Amino acid sequence: MQTSMQHQMMGYDRASTMFSPDGRLLQVEYAKKTVRQGTSAMGLVCKDGVLLVADKRILEKFIVPQSIEKVYQIDEHIGATASGILSDGRILIERAQLLSQQHRVIYDSPMDTHSLVKEICDLKQMYTQVGGARPFGVSILFGGVDNQTPRLFVTDPTGIYFEYKATAIGESETEIKEVLYKKYRETITIDEGIKLAIEILRQVLGKGFDMERVDGAFIRLSDKQFQRLKKEYIKKVLKE
């Protein structure tokens, strides 16, 4: 802590292009801390597709819940959810949508999830080394289906990315991952994943949990079509 304070006093956190004496980019580290203050989101690779579920965190009772979007459609076979500064996330999501559509027009085929993630992370990384700009303060979960293979990626503010079987981002990342470590299995179905995701949100949100706060989507291997989670479908799955 003392070393960090010394770095700040010496101005090493004034630009993302300035390394501290121990080789750290403090502005980038601050961006990663911003993600941990964002709303919770999780993704699960299932045997029949991929699932994304996020908490909307409705701050005012007069806000129309349907106006808050936390899970976005990128293409027919790709979805995404973000945590951190959502205005930053929206810009990157729109870039991803544009890249995906351009690929379809140019190559007459859908863009694979990994290539799209790499393009977005290239942009994120560029903003960690450009003077007069700050890093994107957002992490994005990308879920998609490529050639009958469900895939899930996490993009970091640094521009790095990893592929996961199941993971979480946001304020309750640690608690959600602890439950996933115990209860996730590779043979889980999308419907079972929905039950698990709702169970986890109930646990981490406690009394604040409300079905209106849940946003989600899934892409099945059978049709490779992005489908939003509707309250009626969630209730039906929970009863089974």
- 25 has a pLDDT exceeding 90: no
Sorted by where each begins, the domain ranges of the chain are 40-239
Instruction: Report, as an integer, the average pLDDT of 114-118.
Output: 97
DSSP E strand stretches across the chain: 41-46, 49-55, 71-75, 78-84, 138-146, 149-155, 161-164, 166-169, 214-220, 226-228
Q: What is the per-residue pLDDT across 60-100, written as a single tens digit (0 to 9) for each?
A: 888 887 888 999 999 999 999 999 999 999 999 999 999 99
Residue 87: closest CA among 137, 51, 53? 137
Sorting pLDDT into bands at 50, 70 and 90, what band is 41?
very high
Q: The whole model's pTM is what?
A: 0.91
Q: How many CB atoms lie within 10 A of CB 239?
A: 6
C-beta separation of 223 from 148 below 8 A: no
Q: Which long-range contacts (CB under 8 A, 24 or more apart) does 205-209 make?
A: 205/55, 205/172
- 171 has a pLDDT exceeding 80: yes
C-beta separation of 14 from 125 below 8 A: no
Q: Three-state SS for 61? A: coil
pLDDT for 29: 87
Q: DSSP of 103-164, one letter per residue?
A: HHHHHSSPPPHHHHHHHHHHHHHHTTS-TT-----EEEEEEEEETTEEEEEEE-TTS-EEEE
> CATH assignment of 40-239, given 3.40.50.1220, 3.60.20.10, 1.10.10.60, 3.20.20.70?
3.60.20.10
CA distance linking residue 161 with residue 43, whole number of Å: 14
- More confident position, 13 or 207: 207
